[in-house]
Structure 1
Amino acid sequence: MKKVLFLISILATMAFAGEIMETTSVVIAPSSEIVITGKTNVNSFNCQYNVLELKEPIPVHFKRYNNGKLVFENTILTLESAAFDCGGPGINSDFNKLLKSKTYPEVIIELKEIGKHPKDSKLINALINLEIAGITKAYTFPVKLEGSETLNIEGVLSLNIRDFDLDPPKKALGIIVVKEVIDISFHLKAKEYVKY
């Protein structure tokens, strides 16, 4: 009888796995990096985000599932478009025109799910919604996670700017053209926020 009750309690626990929403907050360390890398037909460029803009703790809401998946709700990283530095006033202005920053001043990254990577046990798959210039697209890409107290999160998301109805800018009478595919590189150091 005890074995039966034990089995029922396990099944009941499994049945309700994922039903409980867990909540915490994280802070992003100033040593973190978010970089957008692009190429032209002549050279390449890097636009680095000023991580000091990420002062406030980021609320994280998630449910755990038995298969190791975490499903998130309202877990959002908001980046001010004007806080990207591409190396000079001219290219910064071009970058903000590309992102339509006057109309859409924020790039919004919403974490939706993380789960096991099908081929590499050292990686996880992250599903995000990315909003640029008022258009939202879903992406799944591999991410490396390390650490316990401070979580190191590394990944590179490649995307085509035309997916967001953005036109690659041209310079020098059209001789220099920005290529459509850009990379967003994340190297975030996140720590649980503890309010004293």
Structure 2
Amino acid sequence: MKKLVIFFLVLLMLSFYKGDFATETAIVVTPESSLVIKVKTNVNKFDCKFNVQNLNNPIPVFFKVENSKLVFEETSLVLKNSCFDCGSKGINKDFYNLLNSDVYPEVVLKLKEVKIDNYHKNWISAKIDIKIAGVVNSYNVPLKLEGEERMMIKGVLNLNISDFNLEPPKKALGLIVVDEMIKIDLNLKVKEIGS
């Protein structure tokens, strides 16, 4: 089985023993990764792709085993809004304005906990706090683990931008309206430091 999956499984097994197990490691998100925010309007759709080479690697990971799950502390993926490319300068500008980037220049995905899905092989359930424009919401996200030495983490998260007090922009005198629902498509290939 994959190195990182075995690592998580061993840690989960340790949870059946009395006492907490706490540890620290670090991962690198490799250039093969992608993170895309998919947006629809009433006439079109577009993808805002994050340039993963602008991530602050390595990412420290702090966790402990608690009640058959991994609980994380201060383990975050920080995404600078300016590193998203939506395909054109005009759409980029609208996207940055939507996120109120002059006041809140980053989107933060903070990993809170992970549980193994006992019913689906290579799947986990991750609790993630997402901070957009200064507002934090929590989500449970199913993630699939693939790969060998480098682990690929795949998942899709549907968000309503109004949950973050964001108003969908309107263009062309209100004829073009951005849908409140957006999709975050994660394909993160990670490697543990020292492995």
Report the identity percentage.
50
Query: Tell me, which stretches of 5 or more residues in structure 2 are unaligned?
Result: 1-15
TM-score calculated relative to the size of structure 2: 0.88
Displaced runs of 4 or more, over 3 A: none
Alignment of 1:20-35 (within 5 A): 20-35=21-36
Q: Distance in 2 between matches of 1:192 and 1:118?
A: 24
Secondary structure of residue in 1 paired with 2:96: helix
2:170 matches 1:167 = no
Alpha-carbon contact 1:14-1:66 (below 8 Å) kept: no
- TM-score with structure 1 length normalisation? 0.88
Structure 2 CA distance for partners of 1:178 and 1:118, relative to 1, 3 Å: farther
- 1:92 aligns with 92
Distance of 2:42 and 2:169 partners within structure 1: 12
The count of residues paired between Structure 1 and Structure 2 equals 181
Cα deviation for residue 121 of structure 1 reads: 3.2
Which letter maps to 1:51? V
Query: Secondary structure of the equivalent of 2:163?
Result: helix
Distance in 2 separating the partners of 1:94 and 1:194: 41
Correspondence for 2:46: 45
Measured after TM superposition, the shift of residue 80 of structure 1 is 0.1
Task: Report matched runs for 1:181-192 at 5 Å.
Answer: 181-192=181-192
- Equivalent position SS for 1:30: coil
Map of 1:14 onto structure 2 = 17
Cα gap change, 1:138/1:122 in structure 2, threshold over 3 Å: closer, same or farther?
same
Q: What is the CA deviation profile of residues 124-172 of structure 1, one whole-angstrom value per residue up to 9, with x for unaligned ones?
A: 1110000000000000011001234211000001010000000000010
Larger Rg, first or second structure (1 or 2): 1
Unaligned ranges ≥5, structure 1 = 1-12
